[in-house]
Structure 1
Amino acid sequence: LDDSNREMLFMCGLEGSEVKHQNDFENLVINTLKQVAEKGVPQESIDAMLHQLELSQREITGDGYPYGLQLIMSLTGAATHGGSVMDALDIDAALEKLRVKSREPNYISDLVNRLLLNNVHRVTLTMRPDPLLIQNQKDNERKRLDNVAATLTDEDKATIVSQAQALKERQEQKDDGDILPKVTLADVKPDVKTKEPIKDGPIIHYGAGTNGIAYQQLYWALPELTEQERVLLPIYTSLLTELGTGTKSYLDMQQWQAARTGSVHLYTMYKPSLSTLNNINGYMVFSGKSLVRHADELSEIMANHWSKPRFDEVERVLDYLTLMSSRRIQGITGSGHSLAMQAASSSHSAGSALIYNTSGLPAIARLKVWVEQWTKDPALLTQWLEQLQALHLKLSKVTPHALLVGENDELAALEANLLASGLTLSDAEQAVAQPIDISPATKMVWSTSTQVNFCSAAFKTVPPTHEDSAPLTVLAGVLRNNYLHRTIREQGGAYGGGASHDNSNGVFRFYSYRDPRLEETLEDFNGSVDWLAQGDFSAEKVEESILGVVSSLDKPGSPAGESKLAYQNKLFGRSDEFRREYRQQILSVNKQQLIDLAGNYLNKDLASQAVITNAEQAEQLVDKGFDWQKI
């Protein structure tokens, strides 16, 4: 339901199908709506959706995007189309109205009949890929340019050249920033944000203003895993909360989750040691949230998923992993720069190699092949699930500890709920270092269905405690703001480009996003280092980058999110003292320091390069020393 316009739209969609199924799909939608109109919707399903609306209204978010701006953006529809801004901000009255109306006989059925089945304003839209699209676009553009060139006089040509030169000069012009108000280093607070737990032990308590929502996390210190187990782990964590438990099917569990929780999900966290890049350890985290009045069932749901997973739901597993594979392949061009950076970074540290192999392009390609094999031979999936069960059994031998975040006066009750779930808990354990193989620096190209390119180059740097780590983070901002943005985005035509320093894993990365160029962009990465060596930038540009780094360190989060981050910093040894020292190193960076660092670390002969492009472009790069991999 798209409610952002004055007239709302109700849409049903299907992806990955074929044009010949258009009528079948339309009949499926209409017949389903008729069935709903005839039989209605179970009251428990309606109550579950009302619960989700209440939870979204209560939750104070802001970890990815400032909460205040989120509220403002949520009001723009009402403000633009003449609605009530206050009603859009406070939906309690509307929720109460819905609770009353939803208990009227045929409430949902009447809505479906009146607004959907008897609505003549309906369209079926089918979209399909054109295999000749890219070539036709190129041919049409070439034809258009040839036609334009044929009509140009010498005077027209001179004008074009003059305009291009004027544009280049304008792009390279140094504007007077002093005419604008600005923040300086004098405005930066010297200390870091700190937050201490209220209670330690097997169940750690953090108090926060959560507005009646309880947050619960379980942490397992990962034992030493084989390479195959590390490959399975991301799929295992994605799948576990999507299965049934005990005598309940996955549909039963999804309904229970919707009715009593905001979400439950399982994931892993890895970080290397502060002093060495090759000693990497990790934790598996089971995270959930709910309204406080449902916290007992949140604990029960999480305990059931962990202790009684239904690995026998083979059809569900295949459906879910097929969807996961499709989504990951389709998502490549949306996050191509991140995937390219993962690939380029993989040869420089254990953490980067682990991320690349378990969640990067190799993982996407591997899952695609597996799904194709399982679809042809379901027996292979059954055998694969035995490996997943063995991994679950191995992880079940580790005793987790727990983190609770909520209002101070509610934490004791939340702990009682967690203990009543039957989960065995212990004090936090130190994770075991994982043995990670690192391949030597290389040049690689991955091909997929894309009309644009994603380029990256990476260099090995130092652990977080090294004196050069903080300045390298500032260096990335100087290169991005003063050279790479101009050459890659403004002049090169890419949607974005820049540099960043992954200080946890000790890798400096260049990148471009949705880029029409390839080799020219890789040359621009080297050109930025040459530009820096000339020293043609002011101390003010260094200060701008420092302020950008501090801004990212100090950005506000949600009350619960800041508590979780404080605990995770503590878990991985990122103490307040370490963070203060790192912050001070950031604030004290100077121009000459950056010039020296670039010369020491960003040697183009030591770079690894990675490109995501289409097959035609990939084939051309093979002759230039790139190793070609296909999705």
Structure 2
Amino acid sequence: MILEKNNIYNGFKLQETKYINELNSEAMIFIHEKTGAKLFKLQNSDDNKVFCIGFRTPPKDSTGVAHIIEHSVLCGSEKYRSKEPFVELLKGSLNTFLNAMTFPDKTIYPVASRNSKDFHNLINVYLDAVLHPLIYNEPLIFMQEGWHYELNSPEGELIINGVVYNEMKGVYSSPDSLLYRYIPSSLMPNTTYGVDSGGDPDEIPNLTYEGFVNFHKRYYHPSNSYIFLYGDGEVTEELKLIDNYLKDYEKISPDSEIYTQKPFNEMKEIVIPYTISKEEEDKDKTYLSLNFSIGTSMDAELSLAFQVLTYMLIQNPAAPLKKALIEAEIGKSVNGDYDSSSKQPVLSIIVKNSEEENKEKFQQVVFDTLKALVDNGIDKELIEASINFQEFLLRESDFRGYPKGLVYYMGAMESWLHDESPLLHLEYDNHINKIKQALTTNYFEELIDKYILKNNHSSLVILKPEKGLGEKKAKDLEKKLKDYKSSLNSKEIEKIISNTKRLRERQQSQDSEEVLHSIPQLALSDIDKKAEWLPIEELQLQNTKVLFHDVFTNKIAYLNFIFDTSNVPEELVPYIRLLGDLLSKLSTDKYSYESLSNKININTGGINFVVNTSSNKDNTEDFKPMLTVKSKALIEKLPELSNLIGEIIKNTKFSEKSKILSLIREQKARMESLIYNSGHSIASLKVLSYLTPKGIYDETVRGLSYYRFLCTLEENYNDEYEVLINNLAKVKELVFNLNNLTISYTCEKEYYNRLEEALNVVSQYLNCDKVYKVSYNYGVGKKNEGLTTEAKVQYVAKGFNYKELGFEYNGALRVIENILTLDYLWNKVRVMGGAYGVNVNVLKDGSVYISSYRDPKLAETINAYDNIFNYLKDFQGGEREIVKYILGTISRLDFPLTPSMISDISDSRYFAGITYEDIQKERDEILSLNSETVQSFSSLFKMGMEENYICVLGNEEKIQSNKSIFENITKVF
């Protein structure tokens, strides 16, 4: 059906249509006649359909009201009165994406599905959730998701709990997160960007229930909405569905304008403390950040130009500003960020592991370096490389984790939210072409001069460590709560106890069958019974094994050289990861590292060196360690790609002593960020290292052990430099051997013959010595560890090996993951315990691990894990509930895959010995699951939890108060 401009379709007037070449999509812009709701559709052949409704939601304070609303509207609505329809959909729809996100100026609710019926179901539930939530009649939702006083008896301790409250305690425990919270407020203090929409834990308890519901009443109205549709869905059907929810509203003026910060006359400086432990060294722990307000987000060319410029100046290995700051020894790690999501985009230049006294030198180096670039001109090869890098990203459209439609929506909102066309940032060809003028003009030099050197709308943010600040704040809060409790009369205390009890009763209550049945659900007949076949052919080219994936890639070749590293001695294993971190970032015989970086970006879509492992599905002791050269380029650029890979792996120089040190420090800083922000992954890697040899290997190259390896290298760098480079050279020679090589190649079949030339080139750079495999004497076993930091929350991990207990893998375990994560543990650990998240993961090598995320509890969480067996033993799911869990499991298996994801997944299956028949068997076991199957796994989890393999990363006081759980307690920093 062809829609015509100015016609009305199911309440929506079509205002504009335009074909967007860059997205291969027809854009349609509508306005809802009755309410003024704005709607934007991108029509194309993508079956991964996306719907999103967003609202302009500018908070006035840092109580986190926008964030708490985002959580709370998904806890039941007028039509879908379940306690958590959102979780019911996670459990049992075919969604490929389901979430909600709070930004400083907007809140968005995206869903995606490849199944049309399921997609319409998701739209229904989400529209009812945002427009008709139960929050007006149920204050307990606010208490659960936001904050509440918790008290179990008159003599008990009064505490504050709540999901968002605990989430933000975790955020504020990370110096990186804290820095990014204060950067926008330093530049835009008089706007919505001057407060924290996520919520400051010190401010969240100031939010009242009345303020909470009034925020929703004001902003969650169709007149303030921005609705988006993407994919191959029938647009008139989608409009009809949406109009059913909007037609009962009248147009209003929501007064949600995002105000602009008046420019500063001079740079502002703010100093923010962050906590470290009393015993921790505070030297070189300061963060310095120079920040600049860059025009407005409505200037799409400027925004894209600054994405290119940020990469050019700070982010790539040849970045001149990064190089100058490292060489000036102002800090140990340098990075930069350009945030275009706010009305006034922000460029940040950040130095980590520095000192406050370096602030003047920091500014001087930045401005002197930039002035020299303006005066002398930027190297044109660097400019070309940086533009090509950005253009490759745009054209490849490989958004891992996010559906394409959602990425396009967020791009559209950068202008649409501020009353400009949603197409401004999506039609990028003209902007790229204008930016390419920089190859023959002073385009970027003029941008630097205008927006950085002569821009007073800037700030210097200093984040400095303060010993024991977290402990002091905890004691202050404890005293405040004690004083508050003392000020209450018996009636007021009884009210808090009563509210605590009422909340717990609600959390423990079960939704009725009638309520659960109101949530739309597909049938098993809507699921394809056949597993998706991922194309892979095992071929031979010049005695080298090739895994070929015949996939449409739009003339991009994904070429991976996979080197078996099992000939590297155990004591040198950490150097494999370090080698991967260094390669392509150091000079070679032919290129300086700056020139090498430019050549990579001009000729390819990237060359990366990744350490990974694959376990044998039939033998828990057997695993294959690998170093993979992951690369991609346009088909016609394969010769250049091959020569660059060969030059890097054969001729990289390890004589650049200071450069290697700076790269070690950079990797160390990244690991520190991982520890702060993803503590669950660190704790989980530790638990896995107690279970299998592969787990020990992975922890050695990816976990806390690798972080400590980097710390040791840095501390002893001058004394151990010769040993370091000798070890790197040894590992390089051992790994890059033709006899270790398997190639993975992904493109259209007509281009397969191009591979032979690439192999001929690369093989010239490889040695051909006989390979001798080594044995790793990894002794697995319980090493229960408490890893202490100044974080205000915990990451609690526990696991076991089911093969060691006599069990084999069964596809039903994938459903058990779903049931435990989104039902039992969601209720026990997240809803009742207050953690932000919890996950169960079952691996085919026999490992099972459970981890919580930003968790205020510790022993209570372990107790919840330990009682999984009782939940499974008593599980009584009706047919509809079983189908729901099966659907949710299948949705994770049938996720839409990009070409590079197809090759990665099929390669990993190949190395693990997993066949298509195994995948089909797994699917059959999932589809045939029943209540008895679920109950049958009770004994497995009882035996597994009794093994008692535990690791917790988190608050020192909390871990010490539970020290009987641990065999070892150590400080992380």
Q: Which TM bucket (shorter chain)?
A: over 0.9
Match of 2:695 among 352, 356, 359: 352
The answer as to whether partners of 2:684 and 2:850 remain within 8 angstroms in 1 is yes
8 Å Cα contact 1:457/1:609 also seen in 2: yes
Shift of 1:190: 1.3
Q: Does 1:164 align with 2:500?
A: yes
What does residue 932 of structure 2 align with? Answer: 592
The secondary structure found in structure 1 opposite 2:342 is: coil
Counterparts of 1:40 and 1:420 in 2: how far apart (Å)? 36
1:18 is aligned to 355
- Are the equivalent residues in 2 in contact too, given 1:464–1:470 (CA < 8 A)? no
The alignment yields a C-alpha RMSD, in angstroms, of: 2.7
Q: Identity of counterpart residues, as a percentage?
A: 21
Q: Among residues 167, 174, 177, which one is paired with 2:510 in the alignment?
A: 174
Query: Which structure carries more relative contact order (alpha carbon 8 Å, separation 6+)?
Result: 1
**Paired position in structure 2 for 1:90:** 427
Q: Which amino acid aligns with 1:177?
A: L
Asked if the contact 2:339–2:347 (Cα under 8 Å) also holds between the matched residues in 1, the reply is yes
2:581 aligns with 238
Indicate if the aligned counterparts of 1:214 and 1:289 stay in contact, CA closer than 8 A: yes
For 2:457 and 2:837, locate their aligned partners in 1 and report how far apart those are by CA, in whole Å.
Answer: 40
1:579 counterpart letter in structure 2: I
* Secondary structure of the corresponding residue to residue 638 of structure 2: helix
In structure 1, C-alpha distance between the alignment counterparts of 2:772 and 2:797, rounded to whole Å: 32
- Counterpart residue identity of residue 305, structure 1: I
Which residue of the other structure, out of 24, 40, 43, is the alignment partner of 2:380?
43
> Residue 341 in 1 paired to residue 684 in 2?
yes
1:513 is the counterpart of 2:849: no
**Map of 1:114 onto structure 2:** 450
- Match in the other structure for 2:478: 142
Amino acid aligned to 1:111: L
**Is the contact between residue 563 and residue 627 of structure 2 (CA under 8 Å) also seen in structure 1?**
yes
More strand by share: 2
- Name the counterpart of 1:183: 522
Deviation at 1:380?
0.7
Q: Is the 8 A contact 2:521 2:884 kept in 1?
A: no
Kept in 1: contact 2:797–2:850 (CA 8 A): yes
Aligned to 1:472: 813
**Closer, same or farther in 2 for the Cα pair 1:62/1:408, shift >3 Å?**
farther
Q: CA deviation at 1:183?
A: 2.4
Q: Residue in 2 aligned with 1:154? A: 490
Equivalences for residues 366-515 of structure 1 within 5 A: 366-374=709-717, 378-399=718-739, 400-413=741-754, 415-421=756-762, 423=764, 435-462=776-803, 467-502=808-843, 504-515=844-855
- Counterparts of 1:114-133 in structure 2, within 5 Å, are 114-133=450-469
CA contact 1:64–1:557 (8 Å) conserved in 2? no
Task: State the secondary structure of the residue aligned to 1:200.
Answer: strand
Given that 1:280 and 1:433 are in contact with CA atoms closer than 8 Å, whether structure 2 keeps it comes out as: no
Aligned CA distance change for structure 1 residues 179 and 485 (closer, same or farther; 3 Å): same
In the alignment, residue 509 of structure 1 is paired with which amino acid? Y
SS at match of 2:456: coil
- State the 1:6 CA deviation: 2.7
Relative to structure 1, the CA distance from residue 373 to residue 382 in structure 2 (aligned partners, 3 Å threshold; closer, same or farther) is same
Deviation at 1:91, TM superposition (A): 1.0
Q: 1:271 matched to which residue of 2?
A: 614
Deviations 1:559-581 (A, max 9, x none): 23213422442343211111111
| More displaced stretch, 557-566 vs 198-207 | 198-207
Partner of 1:251: 594
Output one character per residue of 1:527-584: Cα deviation in whole Å (capped at 9) or x when no partner: 3332332336545444333322222111011123213422442343211111111111
Measured against aligned partners, the alpha-carbon deviations of 1:160-212 in whole angstroms (never above 9, x if no partner) come to 22222221122122222210211232222111111334782235543322223
Higher helix share: 1
* Between 34-43 and 147-156, the greater mean CA deviation after superposition: 147-156
3-state SS in 1 of match to 2:666 = helix
Contact preservation (8 Å) 1:244, 1:309? yes
Alpha-carbon distance in structure 1 between the residues aligned to 2:941 and 2:485: 46
Look up the equivalent residue of 1:232 and give its one-letter code: Y
Distance in 1 of aligned mates of 2:402 and 2:960: 40
Structure 1 residue 578 and structure 2 residue 921: aligned?
Answer: no
1:478–1:545 contact (8 Å) kept in structure 2: yes
What does the per-residue CA deviation read over 1:224-245, in whole Å, with 9 as the maximum and x for residues that have no partner? Answer: 4322132322222222222221
Pairing partner for 2:867 from 527, 546, 552: 527
Contact 1:60 1:559 in 2 (8 A): no
The CA distance in 1 between the partners of 2:522 and 2:613, in whole Å, is 35
Structure 2 residue aligned with 1:200, among 534, 539, 559? 539
Provide the secondary structure at the position in 2 that maps to 1:110. Answer: helix
Pick aligned residue for 1:52 from 389, 395, 400? 389
- Determine whether 1:610 maps to 2:951: yes
Whether 2:601 is the aligned partner of 1:261: answer: no
Give the AA of the match of 1:93: N
Task: Give the CA deviation at 1:354.
Answer: 2.0
Question: Relative to structure 1, is the Cα distance of residues 243 and 602 closer, same or farther in structure 2, using a 3 angstrom cutoff?
Answer: farther
Letter in 2 for 1:609: I
State the one-letter code of the partner of 1:138. Answer: A
| Distance 1:182-1:624 versus aligned 2 partners, 3 A rule | closer
One-letter code aligned to 2:628? V
1:126 positional shift: 1.0
Offset of residue 352 of structure 1:
1.8
Distance in 1 (CA, whole Å) between partners of 2:531 and 2:399 is 19
Q: Does 1:215 align with 2:558?
A: yes
Contact kept in structure 1, 2:386 and 2:601, CA below 8 Å: yes
Contact 2:435 2:443 in 1 (8 A): no
Separation (CA, whole Å) in 1 of partners of 2:646 and 2:465: 45
CA distance in structure 1 between the aligned counterparts of 2:644 and 2:631, rounded to whole angstroms = 9
SS of the residue corresponding to residue 512 of structure 1 reads strand
Q: Distance in 1 between matches of 2:419 and 2:549?
A: 42
1:100 maps onto 2:443 in alignment: no
Q: Deviations over 1:466-512 (max 9, x none)?
A: 6553223322222222221112112212111232212x221222211
Task: Give aligned pairs, total.
Answer: 625
CA distance in 2, matches of 1:278, 1:244: 39
Distance verdict in 2 for CA 1:293–1:96, change over 3 Å:
farther
Q: Would the aligned equivalents of 1:39 and 1:109 in 2 still touch at CA under 8 Å? A: no
Q: Per-residue deviation at 1:128?
A: 1.1
**Cα distance in 1 for residues equivalent to 2:557 and 2:900:** 9
Does the C-alpha gap of structure 1 residues 524 and 567 become closer, same or farther in structure 2, counting only changes over 3 Å?
closer
CA distance in 2 between partners of 1:463 and 1:401 (Å): 31
Structure 2 CA distance for partners of 1:116 and 1:425, relative to 1, 3 Å: closer
Distance 2:651 2:968 in 1: 44
AA at the equivalent of 1:444: E
Deviations 1:448-480 (Å, cap 9, x if unpaired)? 342221111112113999655322332222222
CA offset digits 1:577-627 (Å, max 9, x no partner) = 111111111222222222232213433321211111244444444444431
**What SS class does the counterpart of residue 555 from structure 1 fall into?**
coil
The secondary structure found in structure 2 opposite 1:86 is coil
Which residue pairs with 1:550 in the alignment?
Answer: 890
Residues 1:321 and 2:664 aligned together: yes
Distance change in 2, residues 1:624/1:279 (3 Å):
closer
Match of 2:368 in 1: 31
Change (3 A) 1:624 1:108: closer
